[in-house]
Chain A
Amino acid sequence: MAHQILSTPLADAPMPENRFKIILGMLWRDKFAFTATIILLVTILSAILGPWLFGDAAIVMNLRARNAPPFDLSRGFAFILGGDSLGRSILARIALASQTTMLIAAATVFCSLVAGTVLGLVAGYRGGLLGEAIMRVTDIIMSFPSLLMALVILYVFSPAISNVIIVLAITRIPLYLRTTRAEVMEVRTRMFVVAAEVTGASTFRLVFKHILPIIAPTLLTIMTLDFAFVMLAEASLSFLGLGVQAPDVTWGAMVAEGRAYLSKAWWLSFWPGLAIALVTMSLNLLSNWLRIATDPLQRWRLEKPETQNV
């Protein structure tokens, strides 16, 4: 009963006039998500502006700054986080590494998202033998010990950036595929899809006009979460020496480089690790926010301050 009353529609609610403003407002309501967005923006900016900001401080070796301790401004702002074992600025290197780190994660998520969604749509909408075959292959991929396989594959095919992306993307496809399939199977039985179908709507129209818009928010939420997961996976591979190789550098590789100096210069590993942690955490927070913001039943939590202290 209570729910009936709560969901009684506001028949005269005004239509949203400015989408962007509303989204911004909803972000502001969730302070964690807001902070997370800022962290992510800063990371993206540093990936773009890093080389311009720090010049070649990330590459030029400076033997006097070897393992320079952090918070010492005598060598300039670039060395605020200290210097690495070759005397390069850690801050500049973190900015440089963010490019490769983000590139790998974004490319991986994009590839697995596209492949997984398309295959999931086919498996969920058409079903049949093709759908069954897709699901079986997925089961097989999922039953592999993925990290071990990735290690073996990268060892075989040399650990180049493109190989890292391919290997990671393959292991992530099942996530999107299974989610899409399950959602499609549920959504396609909904009455508005059936209504369009019996009016004669084409498969293309059903999928792109009625089904995909409904499942897009779920995929977006998963994507954000998965971006963090892929970053961690790439970092693990790089940490084990089978991810990207010098002169390319990612945060994971930086942690690995610094490991040898752990007892003498902790900051070599600590800062890049912290960068990974902050970004993954931000992605998790943002994904949480997205889940609420895209759910019509929960969105009100972010919409307007409540009149009563409920």
Chain B
Amino acid sequence: MSDNKIMPDGAILDVANLSVEFHARNTVTKAVRDVSWSIRSGETLAILGESGSGKSVSASAVMGLIDSPPGFVTGGTIHYRSRDLLGMAAEERRAISGKKIAMIFQDPLSHLNPVYPIGWQIAEVMRIHGMEAGDARRRALDLLERVGIPNAAARAGSYPHEFSGGQRQRVMIAMAIALKPDLLIADEPTTALDVTVQAQILRLLRQLQKEESMALLLITHDLGVVAEIADRMIVMKDGEVVETGDVAEVYRNPRHAYTRQLLAAVPGQEPFRPEVERSEVLIKATALKKTYLLSSNAPPLNAMDNVSFELRKGETLGIVGESGSGKTTLAKTLLRLNIPDSGSVTYRGKDIFSLKGDDLFDYRRRLQVVFQDPTASLNPRMSIFDIISEPWAIHKGVKPKQEWAAAVRDLLTQVGLKPEHAKRYPHQFSGGQRQRIAIARALALKPEVILCDEAVSALDVSVQAQVIALLKDLQEKLGLSYIFIAHDLPLVRDFADRVIVMRKGQIVEQGFTSAIFTAPADPYTRELIAASPEPDPAVHRSRTQPAANMEAHA
């Protein structure tokens, strides 16, 4: 034990040469290797990395949240104000957790206990650290007000499932700042949230940090978020720190090749696609309407309201919207998975809802789909060969059985995989590879249109860029048209010819990508573009704060 260690200049927390391993089956994963960093009082440090980089592991080690087994800290020290966190007794460490160092997480719904009211959960952290029950309750109400939950007194008795995603994260934040900690660790705090909500939460974090003068450790995969909020940053890859420095400096002048690659992969940097008027209409949707009755006493939900658009041959049509915008309902309608209350969709002039038999089969062949989660969209019990050849098994006569093997090999090569991968099973591939398999399956029937439903949203930035490049390449070679549904504006900006912006079931704006992004007509479009984190700190610092009046309605 090395108590009273001399801390680096002004640092309140110092992680030195930390190594953590996870043991599973007969493999040992060195999640973090010889990692060192420290954070100063009041500063914001970001740890940036893709999945598997080990970016959250050191933070979990700080909080003592590594389950052992399977995780083991195999080396290094963590000092908080000159006291060794790893060496101290459990009792002593508990006194620091929640009080001096607090943490918030991604996915606040699963991180809040579903069976207790949120007021109780906020008060609990104060009671654990010795505050009297009545005082804790009163302070919990103050905190709820403070993080922007309106009508706190009434809402304190509500349960987590009764709040929206953004509000739940506010509740988590209230819990974390209850005892005025020195350090707040935020692990992907805005990842599952809509961009406008993300902007509000980041603003709240920055404001609280200033008022409480606490240090903020931000763990994220999002370069935009880092640029938005952090002072210094660490880039991690495969369990090691590859780059450390001032955010502006790192962005302007990245030293490590990986950092450069990451920065290059950030979407939204390419020139707009040229405005080309295409004439051949493939899909035409007219005045689509779909209403859901959620319960007898709630007003009906307008999932689609007067939605009309056209998809022309050879183009990429981007559809953007936040959760509840109706973009998923629209996708399902195009796939004939649900039937609209009114309105029509035609494919090459034929109404898709009156298609029967061979015509319907033909439509199914022409329109293929790639879903968001590549893990869920591949049957885990089928081999890659079975998965890719299934469309031919369904559409008998398209391809004789003896040609399947060769065709599967071709398709695998076409999407950048190896022919011998056909024998394997989905779980043996990474997320990006699985998405390539899903694309190969979509290509099997030589479709005209591929519907990409958040097809790259679950992937790491660098993998995202690769999959988009593949899609572009296929479009060029095969003359495909894409309907590209996404919540991520920069992606759409790079990839789409035309963009539709949806909100609450309605199309608020549609037009050429360059027009939408450079001169948005609708205030919501403007807000959406403004809220999207800008991966360039220089741009960000000079930008004025828009939409401050939208606060707290998330």
- Give chain A's interface residues, CB within 8 Å of chain B: 1-2, 4-6, 8-13, 15, 190-192, 194-202, 205, 210, 213-214, 296, 300, 303-308, 310
Partner-binding segment picked from B37-45, B65-73, B117-125, B499-507:
B65-73
Interfacial residues of chain B within 39-74, with CB under 8 A of chain A in the complex? 51-52, 54-57, 60, 66-67, 69-71
- B375 — nearest CB in chain A belongs to which residue? A191
- A12 — nearest CB in chain B belongs to which residue? B428
Partner-binding segment picked from B209-217, B256-264, B378-386:
B378-386
Listed A/B pairs (14) with beta-carbon separation below 8 Å: A1-B54, A1-B55, A2-B22, A6-B29, A11-B433, A195-B377, A195-B441, A198-B369, A213-B381, A214-B379, A214-B380, A304-B26, A306-B23, A310-B69
Q: Pick the residue among A5, A196, A306 that contacts B52 (CB under 8 A).
A: A5
In the complex, what distance in Å separates the CA atom of A31 from the CA atom of B366? 54
Which residues on the B side are within 8 Å of A210 (C-beta)?
379
Q: Mark B179-200, 1 if CB is under 8 A from A, else 0.
A: 0000000010000000000000
Shortest C-beta distance, A208 to chain B (Å), equals: 12
Partner-binding segment picked from B282-290, B389-397, B537-545:
B389-397
Which residues on the B side are within 8 Å of A307 (C-beta)?
23, 26-28
In the complex, what distance in Å separates the CA atom of A205 from the CA atom of B394? 9
Which residues on the A side are within 8 Å of B433 (C-beta)?
11
Interfacial residues of chain B within 359-391, with CB under 8 A of chain A in the complex? 360-361, 364-365, 367-369, 371-373, 376-381, 390-391
Instruction: Evaluate contact between B390 and A196: CB separation under 8 angstroms.
Output: yes
Which residues on the B side are within 8 Å of A296 (C-beta)?
380, 427
Instruction: Evaluate contact between A191 and B29: CB separation under 8 angstroms.
Output: no
Instruction: Evaluate contact between A5 and B25: CB separation under 8 angstroms.
Output: no
In the complex, what distance in Å separates the CA atom of A5 from the CA atom of B423? 25
Assess A191 versus B376: contact at CB under 8 Å? Given A9-B429, A196-B394, A198-B335: yes
Which residues on the A side are within 8 Å of B70 (C-beta)?
2, 6, 310
Instruction: Evaluate contact between B365 and A200: CB separation under 8 angstroms.
Output: yes
Instruction: Evaluate contact between B427 and A6: CB separation under 8 angstroms.
Output: no
Q: Which 9 A-B pairs have the closest CB atoms?
A: A1-B56, A200-B364, A191-B377, A310-B69, A191-B376, A192-B379, A198-B335, A300-B25, A310-B23
Instruction: Evaluate contact between A11 and B429: CB separation under 8 angstroms.
Output: yes
Instruction: Evaluate contact between B56 and A303: CB separation under 8 angstroms.
Output: no
B138 beta carbon closer than 8 Å to chain A: no
Which one of B367, B369, B378, B390 has the highest number of Cβ atoms from chain A below 10 Å of its Cβ?
A: B390
In the complex, what distance in Å separates the CA atom of A15 from the CA atom of B425? 9
B1 beta carbon closer than 8 Å to chain A: no
Shortest C-beta distance, A203 to chain B (Å), equals: 12
Q: Other than the known A2-B22, A199-B390, A199-B445, what 7 A-B pairs have Cβ atoms closer than 8 Å?
A: A1-B60, A2-B70, A9-B428, A191-B373, A195-B369, A198-B337, A305-B26
Shortest C-beta distance, B428 to chain A (Å), equals: 5
Instruction: Evaluate contact between B394 and A306: CB separation under 8 angstroms.
Output: no
Instruction: Evaluate contact between A198 and B390: CB separation under 8 angstroms.
Output: no
Instruction: Evaluate contact between A2 and B71: CB separation under 8 angstroms.
Output: yes
B336 beta carbon closer than 8 Å to chain A: yes
Which residues on the B side are within 8 Å of A306 (C-beta)?
23, 25-26
Which residues on the A side are within 8 Å of B423 (C-beta)?
15
Assess A195 versus B371: contact at CB under 8 Å? Given A9-B428, A15-B423, A200-B364: yes
In the complex, what distance in Å separates the CA atom of A308 from the CA atom of B28? 9
Assess A2 versus B28: contact at CB under 8 Å? Given A200-B364, A306-B23: no
Assess A5 versus B22: contact at CB under 8 Å? Given A11-B430, A200-B360, A307-B28: yes
Which residues on the A side are within 8 Å of B51 (C-beta)?
4
Shortest C-beta distance, B411 to chain A (Å), equals: 15
- B379 — nearest CB in chain A belongs to which residue? A192
Which residues on the A side are within 8 Å of B69 (C-beta)?
310
- A300 — nearest CB in chain B belongs to which residue? B25
B174 beta carbon closer than 8 Å to chain A: no
Instruction: Evaluate contact between B376 and A8: CB separation under 8 angstroms.
Output: no
Instruction: Evaluate contact between A8 and B29: CB separation under 8 angstroms.
Output: yes
On chain B, the number of residues with a Cβ less than 8 Å from chain A's Cβ atoms is 57
Instruction: Evaluate contact between B428 and A10: CB separation under 8 angstroms.
Output: yes
B424 beta carbon closer than 8 Å to chain A: yes
Instruction: Evaluate contact between B394 and A199: CB separation under 8 angstroms.
Output: yes
Shortest C-beta distance, B65 to chain A (Å), equals: 9
- A200 — nearest CB in chain B belongs to which residue? B364
In the complex, what distance in Å separates the CA atom of A233 from the CA atom of B207? 66
B31 beta carbon closer than 8 Å to chain A: yes
Instruction: Evaluate contact between B337 and A197: CB separation under 8 angstroms.
Output: yes
- B393 — nearest CB in chain A belongs to which residue? A205
Instruction: Evaluate contact between A191 and B371: CB separation under 8 angstroms.
Output: yes
B298 beta carbon closer than 8 Å to chain A: no
Shortest C-beta distance, A305 to chain B (Å), equals: 8
B154 beta carbon closer than 8 Å to chain A: no
In the complex, what distance in Å separates the CA atom of A8 from the CA atom of B54? 12
Shortest C-beta distance, B420 to chain A (Å), equals: 11
B115 beta carbon closer than 8 Å to chain A: no
Instruction: Evaluate contact between A199 and B55: CB separation under 8 angstroms.
Output: no
- A213 — nearest CB in chain B belongs to which residue? B381
- A194 — nearest CB in chain B belongs to which residue? B337
In the complex, what distance in Å separates the CA atom of A200 from the CA atom of B335? 10
In the complex, what distance in Å separates the CA atom of A12 from the CA atom of B433? 13
B24 beta carbon closer than 8 Å to chain A: yes
Interfacial residues of chain B within 68-111, with CB under 8 A of chain A in the complex? 69-71
Q: Pick the residue among A192, A201, A205 that contacts B377 (CB under 8 A).
A: A192
Shortest C-beta distance, B35 to chain A (Å), equals: 13
Shortest C-beta distance, B538 to chain A (Å), equals: 31
Which residues on the A side are within 8 Å of B430 (C-beta)?
8-9, 11
In the complex, what distance in Å separates the CA atom of A98 from the CA atom of B368? 56
Which residues on the A side are within 8 Å of B337 (C-beta)?
194, 197-198
Which residues on the B side are within 8 Å of A2 (C-beta)?
22, 31, 57, 60, 66-67, 70-71
In the complex, what distance in Å separates the CA atom of A17 from the CA atom of B518? 58
Q: Mark B217-260, 1 if CB is under 8 A from A, else 0.
A: 00000000000000000000000000000000000000000000
Which residues on the B side are within 8 Å of A303 (C-beta)?
25
- A196 — nearest CB in chain B belongs to which residue? B390
Which residues on the B side are within 8 Å of A12 (C-beta)?
428
In the complex, what distance in Å separates the CA atom of A128 from the CA atom of B274? 50
Instruction: Evaluate contact between B378 and A308: CB separation under 8 angstroms.
Output: no
Which residues on the B side are within 8 Å of A191 (C-beta)?
371-373, 376-377
Shortest C-beta distance, B112 to chain A (Å), equals: 19
Which residues on the A side are within 8 Å of B54 (C-beta)?
1, 5
- A214 — nearest CB in chain B belongs to which residue? B381
Q: Pick the residue among A4, A15, A200 that contacts B394 (CB under 8 A).
A: A200
Instruction: Evaluate contact between A11 and B428: CB separation under 8 angstroms.
Output: yes
In the complex, what distance in Å separates the CA atom of A5 from the CA atom of B52? 6
Which residues on the A side are within 8 Å of B335 (C-beta)?
198
- B374 — nearest CB in chain A belongs to which residue? A191
Which residues on the A side are within 8 Å of B24 (C-beta)?
6, 300
Instruction: Evaluate contact between A199 and B364: CB separation under 8 angstroms.
Output: yes
In the complex, what distance in Å separates the CA atom of A197 from the CA atom of B423? 24
Instruction: Evaluate contact between B428 and A13: CB separation under 8 angstroms.
Output: yes
In the complex, what distance in Å separates the CA atom of A211 from the CA atom of B373? 18
Which residues on the A side are within 8 Å of B29 (C-beta)?
5-6, 8
Which residues on the B side are within 8 Å of A192 (C-beta)?
376-380
In the complex, what distance in Å separates the CA atom of A195 from the CA atom of B445? 13
In the complex, what distance in Å separates the CA atom of A306 from the CA atom of B380? 25
In the complex, what distance in Å separates the CA atom of A197 from the CA atom of B424? 23
In the complex, what distance in Å separates the CA atom of A2 from the CA atom of B56? 8
- B55 — nearest CB in chain A belongs to which residue? A1
Which residues on the A side are within 8 Å of B60 (C-beta)?
1-2
In the complex, what distance in Å separates the CA atom of A2 from the CA atom of B57? 7
